Amino acid sequence: MMIRHGETEWTAKYLHTGRTDIPLNAHGEQRARLLEPILRATPGIESATVLTSPLQRARRTCELAGLGDRATVVDDLMEWDYGEFEGTRTADLRVADPTWSIWTAPVERGENLAAVGDRADRVVAILDTIEGMAVLFAHAHILRILGARWCGFPPIGGTRLTLDPASISVLGHERETRVIESWNRSPHY
């Protein structure tokens, strides 16, 4: 199970928020709290392995969802290092380049897509060693890429997956094949 962190001030403004460690806003905290009864009612949650990004927005979402005391920090769950694009909006960058995308732009002082894909692969390797359920708290792009890599798609496959703040996605298996069981479920609508 993968959970994107709740809303932050930057999320609400559609700013690329990679490694800037900003807190949830009030709305993000409220929505993160709504995850707790859903998770509590999930079969197997009591023995699930809980992993979280070290960034406070993910850790706080994990805490408000009721799993913070069981969480292990995994650095590979940190969001994409956007380098010079940190704090920018796609809409603003497209004024100069109408085709600009974080998925295809060269990132000079951060991570390229392949490097983020490598981190996602390391998380998949961790998941392969876990017996039972795992619950991950992280960020939109790393989770989108992780979903793509789980299914054997290249990291760019994450462009086809979107995640709302404080949403739940479930990765699983159909027999021996890795699948996405559900994606971007929101308890907030």
Candidates 5, 16, 139, 141; catalytic one: 5
Candidates 7, 16, 63, 79; catalytic one: 79
79 counts as catalytic = yes
Nearest to 158 by CA among 117, 126, 106, 99: 117
108 counts as catalytic = no
The DSSP line for 123-153 is HHHHHHT--S-EEEEE-HHHHHHHHHHHTT-
Tokens 């956007």 correspond to 82
The secondary element (H helix, E strand) that includes residue 173 is strand 168-174
Query: If phi over 0 gives left and psi between -120 and 50 gives alpha, with beta otherwise, what is residue 44?
Result: left
Positions marked catalytic: 5, 79
